[in-house]
């Protein structure tokens, strides 16, 4: 891991911890929390708490309750802390789409992922492969009915940004993903739209997240600019936890939930120490308390 240049962290940063209630917290989430809270503590800033429940089909209230409870148990979040929830921001997302449409065409799209893959003559449809939307519906003027997605036209611009850990980056969203999906065919606002709107409206100045999300940063900066954000957030992408076969730790892969570690009588400091070690912030799995995470970054 490259050294972290702390002089580049803005004073009093507002970072955010933004889990999706689609499963239980595991060590990969805790690693991200350690980066968020550690940097906020070291810089005298704060962590905004956000429930990313934009995907209504996959989110469950019981997972949300469990996530909040696990974070309280870890000592990261005080009892009764205020969370913002994406499902409460529907009107803001709707307004954002109207705003985006004043700058470049927004249009209905009836393509499924399979249609796009076929169009690209992809020989296999892998859930995690990025499919570049070829613009099939751009000129069709389809009605924006239920069952149609909504996309915004992207220009050819390249977005440059300086990742606080990974250094200078250049991305051309139109070449990576094509016209960006803002609302999907089931009526859900997309992750890309929601986080861009939220980070701008909620004053997040430093986005701290796993390096698996690096490819989507350029399009989020582009959306934020189009939405009128004068000074885009800074970004830091940190190493993600991987399983023995090198894949990112995930609930689909059976990562151990924090609740199970609690049940196995691991204490909070041991869980934080294990996650800090596995994300490269400690030389060994030494216990560390939540209010000491800033010391990992000084």
Binding site for Zn ion (CB under 5 A): 109, 111, 136-137
- How many other CB atoms are there within 10 angstroms of residue 253's CB atom? 13
Cα separation, 265 vs 259, whole angstroms: 10
Nearer to Zn ion by Cβ, of 88 and 129: the residue is: 129
Quote the least distance from Cβ 28 to Zn ion, whole Å: 33
Nearer to Zn ion by Cβ, of 121 and 230: the residue is: 121
Cα separation, 171 vs 159, whole angstroms: 5
Cα separation, 18 vs 187, whole angstroms: 21
Quote the least distance from Cβ 186 to Zn ion, whole Å: 15
Quote the least distance from Cβ 178 to Zn ion, whole Å: 10
Tokens linked to 264 = 């196995």
Quote the least distance from Cβ 117 to Zn ion, whole Å: 12
Nearer to Zn ion by Cβ, of 36 and 137: the residue is: 137
Cα separation, 275 vs 291, whole angstroms: 15
**Strand blocks (E) in the chain:** 14-17, 46-51, 84-85, 106-109, 149-152, 159-163, 167-171, 180-183, 206-210, 234-238
Nearer to Zn ion by Cβ, of 111 and 208: the residue is: 111
Nearer to Zn ion by Cβ, of 111 and 222: the residue is: 111
Quote the least distance from Cβ 238 to Zn ion, whole Å: 35
Contact 55, 271 (CB under 8 A): no
Phi, psi at residue 117, to the nearest 5°?
Answer: -60, -45
């Amino acid at each position: 891991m490259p050294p972290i240049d702390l002089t580049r962290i803005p004073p009093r940063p507002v970072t955010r911890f933004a889990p999706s209630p689609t499963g239980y917290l595991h060590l990969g989430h805790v690693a991200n929390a350690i980066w968020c809270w550690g940097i906020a503590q070291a810089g005298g800033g704060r962590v905004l708490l956000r429930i990313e429940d934009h995907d209504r089909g996959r989110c469950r209230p019981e997972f949300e309750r469990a996530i909040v409870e696990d974070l309280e148990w870890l000592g990261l979040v005080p009892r009764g802390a205020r969370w913002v929830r994406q499902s409460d921001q529907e009107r803001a997302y709707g307004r954002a789409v109207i705003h985006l449409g004043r700058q470049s065409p927004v249009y209905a799209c009836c393509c499924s992922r399979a249609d796009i893959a076929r169009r690209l003559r992809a020989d296999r449809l892998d859930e995690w492969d990025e499919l570049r939307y070829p613009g099939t519906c751009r000129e069709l003027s389809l009605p924006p009915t239920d069952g149609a997605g909504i996309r915004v036209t992207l220009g050819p611009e390249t977005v440059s940004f300086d990742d606080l850990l990974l250094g200078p980056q250049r991305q051309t969203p139109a070449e990576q993903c094509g016209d960006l999906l803002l609302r999907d065919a089931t009526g859900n606002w997309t992750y890309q739209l929601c986080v861009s709107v939220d980070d701008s409206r909620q004053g997040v100045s430093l986005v701290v997240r796993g390096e698996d999300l690096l490819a989507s940063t350029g399009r989020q900066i582009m959306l934020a600019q189009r939405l009128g954000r004068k000074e885009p957030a800074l970004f830091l992408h940190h190493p993600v936890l991987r399983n023995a076969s090198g894949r990112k730790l995930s609930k689909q892969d059976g990562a151990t939930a924090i609740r199970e570690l609690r049940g196995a009588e691991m204490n909070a400091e041991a869980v934080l120490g294990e996650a800090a070690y596995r994300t490269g912030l400690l030389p060994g799995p030494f216990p560390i308390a939540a209010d000491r995470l800033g010391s990992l970054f000084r």
